[in-house]
Structure 1
């Protein structure tokens, strides 16, 4: 691995993390006897068997020799250095640490005066309850002095009314950074290094921008975070992959779990960055490809992949660089930008234009979350922020100072650790609703499914159709999949709980636009069986699915549908189906298969066998087992720095997809026409490979007959008919 370490941003003279009496940790919670964290799903749903009784994990461990009456606390002081916010936050636990839930606060500095070499700070506009006494604290007074080594502070907590104080406590600064994260960076053979980047490399920039050599470390140091690069980074050899150098989502997820030396299916301040060559889509520049699954074993935000040879974003010949000349410098700039953008998602940062889409973390009212489509931040899309449309991003880069904005810095530096830590809480959610005044009457959005009634455990596929219902042309984007952030989905369950649905990836893709003629439509299937918050359809009853579409001009469209989930056909079926609702299985069902997650694959096979071939769930179970076997599959195992390739198995594909082609109407009702066609094409390719060409022709002919009977659009019928003719 190339050593890209560079001098970090100037260290704050006083800002950083201060601890007293050992400090409060970010990993307090509920654990098993083996100290493995329980998920919220395991704690709140008795359908999951617990490995042991539930134990509380202390938020802190008091230092030896401390007074039994002393509190334990950590303060984040943010008053100088790079982009200071004038904020102090903290966590405070009582002396009975094991039984104490830490109080968290974020306050604003209202007084900041220099006195005899020390800085006197007064912090207010916050409230929290002092542990053990129940008193409300609303003021913090600090005297911070540089000292001979690390700065120290004298800290007093003032109770409402000023009649009582806790302290003063003498506190030492533990670090000039607010948090520390270990990052392993692996780079594929032939991929392009994303760093370092010199801020003056491209001539389109703020005229007074200082020249800096930025790396992953220095970019996040500006936000107050310490990136420690793991020595385990590898150069990944891909000779065995031959001509197929493209990575699919299932291959990436398998690679992370198998190869990353620090992977653990639990929250941790660690992440993996994989600098790959190409994704299976030329328009995909990067992806945060592992996301929270609110089921047992579910962890999120641990892996980021950057596709350094992406033709659209990262090569001088691409549309994005040529629209932001000089192209070679633009390609380098965008590559580094996307490295920080995707890494920001791993810290749970939302896109700049999506910050208000529902949060579990509430920032203080004096710095409320706002959707800022033209924010000058790493978390924005430079071309979308730039007026005028297209790939031009000059307006953004003429103003961008290579930083996160103040709201993002507040989150990274001061939010409770569980919201920032990789694999912990998910706070960014979307709601799938739009303001009535933004609706574009020229666009009609429809969400539909072949059936409105599903069996418990059956895959739930819906189709989106965006149609121009006006008499004139309409410019619309084609990014109908929610991972790009322009389409939002929410599901209301039978108990009336409305929750967002998000896929288990966030992507940086080309925003592709198209002028829709009157009556013309765009289509996209969505597999909403499982998402970032787990399985939405886990119980019988009625459900509501809401979808919203956000166009590049600010116009919107919305749609809603109702569906029902039947009770299990028997008690034994219900028990078998309930074993599906865990994170490993969910990832396989959402990603479309895996060759390395053997435990999840075995569970899918076991449930399929118990339910029987005629159960609607069996069609998609067969699909997720067959599709990864339909072509050579890249494997990156933990004991190797070389990509291996597992060969295709057409006989296996034929066997597992036979129910799909033997019962075309039933299979199409389960997975929808778009996915059904894809599966029949996969089956056809497999049987042609095994010299059973006639079987492929029969499968295509049956699909053509079904599509004609159901009124599928003519271009699709023409394509299928051509395939039938080719197979004669």
Structure 2
């Protein structure tokens, strides 16, 4: 039975039996088979019920239907829930399985699943009796498989026994093999040479599924160097890339990477010679790569020749996988949430041109890109018995969760990613954010190791179980693999070209569906149009990055987000914006040793028109705003925050009533460490991506970092300059045990230097953190440290009093003051003192009235105060 969408061809040993829709086969006994199985089934297991009626289990993605012929569905749901079978499947065989074989026995029922050159044998009701290489099965014939027929099969079916032995027909590409489990292969050749009925298979069912890519690995004869090769023939021209690793004393250390672009398409075996691009200038250049085939048993030979003609150095590499990279994906999810499912393209009609009827999962989307996303064990449900109703996760809590709960974590680059499915996200101001997901970095120079997705946000938006949910997961994992938003690729280092409509026209996972447009003059996106043209693919340049990007630029824990070995001095100035907007940076222009650098951000009308559309996302490194920092030596780099939320922004119309948007950003510490590590003058420039796709550039804002004025300044500043302290300031405090030394330093600053101007920043972090409960992931579930209102009130009161003291220049900026005072009001309310909370909110409005801020700004402050007041009075 050969399936092609909803069509099926049945062949016997001698001829074609029938051809037509799947639901019309077997005398109509499959009529009523539900979608997606009627048109997207990927495999089937034929069996017989206890009453003698035939049953077929149809599999689509990770779902299945157990169909009793002429009766109907006996079970529909996850494959892992199929009675006596699904729960026994090893994790690696729960997706992307090549073929399934049902051994011709009724009791016990045994199914053999083959994936690549590995297999597992499941005895129904008992478990897996064998998992390992196909050649390791107990019957003698498996050890006699030829090298080119040891896996990656397209089709397999049991034939009638011969001489009492099991017989199997395997199909691989345009070749077939009749195989005896005891004696080995009986015949190998073209379809008709092996089985007459197979030769009668109609042409449309003969599509080859031979891999167009493969991964190989090998070492030098001396064993001092290893290479991992990626051979890719999927495009018009062959591409080979590779990563070199030094081997010394059993330790594998990354050295360099290369990309070899071939000149013409090739048929294997062939020698690929082309243009070499390297990640650095070390080591001899690549001369050629010779490949015999892309399949188990294949060999690739890499030859290096020195620039002086010395060598050659030869690596003989064995085939590893049809996937160019393999990732271990660890998932933890909070109780009452669940991991992503699947999407059947049959759910929406008509299909975009070029999109087949198929089942799409997060894993299959990356498999289509040549990337194996392998489940690292079973997803782990986290109990929430102590968390109560308030399960909003801050960046600090997410950071602590990854640092403490990522079981595969190591403080080094590795192909391992942690995915936490949480309830919702709470931003730095303590407000519930509408972000669908966030990619966040750990400290210690190991970025891009974790992503979080927010279940309740998707639930509220009614996207759970839909294509939008899958899109969110794939989008966030794309960021972790160092893919930028479609409209931000020109901020890459080195810059990448933008696609159509300044990137907003990309049919890609890295675009926002709601921002897609095809008309360069359009100022708003069209989500419905996006889904009409999106074929669930990355763009060609994104595929090249995923498949062939230099190791450090792709691997989790490698290079910083958006970086790849150059610097932004090469970035051409953007074209003049016609958005009607201007962006400005302001704030203090001089900072003392160790003092956190904060800037205020303003997006406003530029006077060219009475109204303009703006996005309210003013988070540096987010979807719309970036801040470029030029250090005293002239090097330019973007500021990258520790957490980068996706989505959650909303469009705002600026007009006479609302002429501007305001934000504040702490720039002192981010994913790349300290932004201002040395004294000197730094220049800051904001680049704001307006909703119409244009880029608005701010005037430069200079900040001077001064050396310590005296030993007291040095001692106080030094207590803020550790990586852990920087992380705590960026996260507004944290309970993470991994940041204990940083918290101790902040405590020493408060205790030893209570009157120093820098102490206000330690108090802000300690007060903000104390004023909220803190969710911590443990092996037993989620624990909750309740809010310490007394500490929060003491510390935040000190922040407010210091900032408002006319006799000192110490304190925080206006926007941070606003945030601190609203936090202080919440702390009083939590302590049961609504009267004092109201007094703080009244003081907030009066403070900004006295500051003589513009009328619209004062109106916004008053609205924020009244919204906070209403929330506090509404709480039980």
Both proteins in one fold, TM over 0.5: yes
For the pair shown, which has the larger CA radius of gyration, 1 or 2? 2
- Superposed CA deviations along residues 596-629 of structure 1, whole A, max 9, x for unmatched, are 232321122223434x123232112111112122
Tell me if 1:345 matches 2:479.
Answer: yes
Seen in structure 2, the aligned counterparts of structure 1 residues 445 and 725 have a Cα distance that, compared at 3 Å, is: closer
Counterpart among 380, 396, 418 of residue 250 in structure 1: 396
Unaligned runs of 5+ in 1: 22-61, 322-327
**Structure 1 contact 461–670 (Cα < 8 Å) conserved:** no
Unaligned runs of 5+ in 2: 1-61, 63-77, 81-90, 99-153, 155-208, 427-431
Tell me if 1:685 matches 2:826.
Answer: yes
**Structure 1 contact 462–526 (Cα < 8 Å) conserved:** yes
Farther-moved stretch of structure 1 (344-353 vs 597-606): 597-606
Seen in structure 2, the aligned counterparts of structure 1 residues 85 and 111 have a Cα distance that, compared at 3 Å, is: closer
Counterpart-to-counterpart distance in 2, 1:156 and 1:604: 55
The answer for the alignment partner of 1:305 in structure 2 is 452
Q: Alignment partner of 1:349: what SS?
A: coil
Seen in structure 2, the aligned counterparts of structure 1 residues 542 and 77 have a Cα distance that, compared at 3 Å, is: same
Tell me if 1:77 matches 2:231.
Answer: yes
The answer for the alignment partner of 2:437 in structure 1 is 286
- Superposed CA deviations along residues 413-465 of structure 1, whole A, max 9, x for unmatched, are 2222222111121251596988463223732222111x322222222221111
Displacement of 1:144 in angstroms is 1.3
Counterpart among 321, 329, 351 of residue 205 in structure 1: 351
**Structure 1 contact 182–269 (Cα < 8 Å) conserved:** yes
- Superposed CA deviations along residues 396-422 of structure 1, whole A, max 9, x for unmatched, are 222222122221222222222222111
Kindly report which structure 2 residues correspond to 1:324-363, keeping only aligned pairs within 5 A, or say none: 332-359=466-493
Displacement of 1:285 in angstroms is 0.6
What TM-score, normalized by structure 1, do the two folds share?
Answer: 0.80
Tell me if 1:86 matches 2:238.
Answer: yes
Counterpart-to-counterpart distance in 1, 2:692 and 2:316: 55
Counterpart-to-counterpart distance in 2, 1:261 and 1:399: 39
The answer for the alignment partner of 1:150 in structure 2 is 297
Displacement of 1:94 in angstroms is 8.7
Counterpart-to-counterpart distance in 2, 1:96 and 1:238: 46
Displacement of 1:675 in angstroms is 1.6
Seen in structure 2, the aligned counterparts of structure 1 residues 350 and 646 have a Cα distance that, compared at 3 Å, is: same
Counterpart-to-counterpart distance in 1, 2:826 and 2:593: 31
Counterpart among 729, 735, 740 of residue 598 in structure 1: 740
Counterpart among 483, 489, 505 of residue 374 in structure 1: 505
Q: Alignment partner of 2:617: what SS?
A: coil
Counterpart among 609, 613, 625 of residue 754 in structure 2: 613
Counterpart among 764, 774, 785 of residue 633 in structure 1: 774
**Structure 1 contact 348–419 (Cα < 8 Å) conserved:** yes
Counterpart-to-counterpart distance in 2, 1:299 and 1:495: 25
The answer for the alignment partner of 1:385 in structure 2 is 516
Seen in structure 2, the aligned counterparts of structure 1 residues 395 and 542 have a Cα distance that, compared at 3 Å, is: same
Seen in structure 2, the aligned counterparts of structure 1 residues 395 and 159 have a Cα distance that, compared at 3 Å, is: farther
Counterpart-to-counterpart distance in 1, 2:631 and 2:279: 36
Kindly report which structure 2 residues correspond to 1:498-517, keeping only aligned pairs within 5 A, or say none: 498-517=636-655
- Superposed CA deviations along residues 192-238 of structure 1, whole A, max 9, x for unmatched, are 43222223323363145222222332222222222221226311222
The answer for the alignment partner of 2:180 in structure 1 is none
Counterpart-to-counterpart distance in 1, 2:316 and 2:355: 40
How many residue pairs are counted as aligned between the two chains? 650
Seen in structure 2, the aligned counterparts of structure 1 residues 191 and 495 have a Cα distance that, compared at 3 Å, is: same
The answer for the alignment partner of 1:577 in structure 2 is 717
- Superposed CA deviations along residues 363-398 of structure 1, whole A, max 9, x for unmatched, are 9xxx99996332222111122123556564122222
Counterpart-to-counterpart distance in 2, 1:102 and 1:444: 45
**Structure 2 contact 490–498 (Cα < 8 Å) conserved:** no
Displacement of 1:719 in angstroms is 4.8
Seen in structure 2, the aligned counterparts of structure 1 residues 110 and 547 have a Cα distance that, compared at 3 Å, is: same
**Structure 1 contact 188–238 (Cα < 8 Å) conserved:** yes
- Superposed CA deviations along residues 229-261 of structure 1, whole A, max 9, x for unmatched, are 122631122232222132222121111122222
The answer for the alignment partner of 1:714 in structure 2 is 858
Tell me if 1:462 matches 2:599.
Answer: yes
Tell me if 1:140 matches 2:255.
Answer: no
- Superposed CA deviations along residues 607-656 of structure 1, whole A, max 9, x for unmatched, are 3434x12323211211111212213322212x22x222211111111222
Displacement of 1:101 in angstroms is 8.2
Tell me if 1:124 matches 2:274.
Answer: yes
Seen in structure 2, the aligned counterparts of structure 1 residues 250 and 125 have a Cα distance that, compared at 3 Å, is: same
Farther-moved stretch of structure 1 (566-575 vs 651-660): 566-575
Kindly report which structure 2 residues correspond to 1:16-31, keeping only aligned pairs within 5 A, or say none: 16-21=214-219
Counterpart-to-counterpart distance in 1, 2:503 and 2:822: 43
Seen in structure 2, the aligned counterparts of structure 1 residues 534 and 501 have a Cα distance that, compared at 3 Å, is: same
**Structure 1 contact 254–594 (Cα < 8 Å) conserved:** yes
Counterpart-to-counterpart distance in 2, 1:287 and 1:717: 28
Tell me if 1:229 matches 2:375.
Answer: yes
Counterpart-to-counterpart distance in 1, 2:811 and 2:513: 39
Farther-moved stretch of structure 1 (234-243 vs 96-105): 96-105
Seen in structure 2, the aligned counterparts of structure 1 residues 129 and 424 have a Cα distance that, compared at 3 Å, is: closer
The answer for the alignment partner of 2:665 in structure 1 is 526
**Structure 1 contact 298–582 (Cα < 8 Å) conserved:** no
Tell me if 1:6 matches 2:95.
Answer: yes
Counterpart-to-counterpart distance in 2, 1:101 and 1:298: 16
The answer for the alignment partner of 1:549 in structure 2 is 688
Counterpart-to-counterpart distance in 1, 2:572 and 2:306: 43
Seen in structure 2, the aligned counterparts of structure 1 residues 606 and 203 have a Cα distance that, compared at 3 Å, is: farther
Counterpart-to-counterpart distance in 2, 1:180 and 1:100: 18
Seen in structure 2, the aligned counterparts of structure 1 residues 146 and 539 have a Cα distance that, compared at 3 Å, is: closer
Displacement of 1:164 in angstroms is 8.3
Counterpart-to-counterpart distance in 2, 1:571 and 1:92: 48
- Superposed CA deviations along residues 341-379 of structure 1, whole A, max 9, x for unmatched, are 10111111111222221416x99xxx9999633222211
Counterpart-to-counterpart distance in 2, 1:130 and 1:309: 45
Counterpart among 109, 116, 123 of residue 262 in structure 2: 109
Bigger fraction of residues in strand: 2
The answer for the alignment partner of 2:115 in structure 1 is none
Counterpart among 316, 319, 323 of residue 173 in structure 1: 319
Q: Alignment partner of 2:402: what SS?
A: helix
Counterpart-to-counterpart distance in 2, 1:705 and 1:72: 68
Counterpart-to-counterpart distance in 1, 2:867 and 2:579: 38
Counterpart-to-counterpart distance in 1, 2:482 and 2:433: 26
Seen in structure 2, the aligned counterparts of structure 1 residues 414 and 659 have a Cα distance that, compared at 3 Å, is: same
Counterpart-to-counterpart distance in 2, 1:130 and 1:565: 33
Tell me if 1:675 matches 2:822.
Answer: no
What TM-score, normalized by structure 2, do the two folds share?
Answer: 0.67
Counterpart-to-counterpart distance in 1, 2:479 and 2:816: 29
- What value does the CA root-mean-square deviation take over the aligned residues? 3.8
The answer for the alignment partner of 1:57 in structure 2 is none
Tell me if 1:397 matches 2:531.
Answer: yes
**Structure 1 contact 431–489 (Cα < 8 Å) conserved:** no
Tell me if 1:538 matches 2:684.
Answer: no
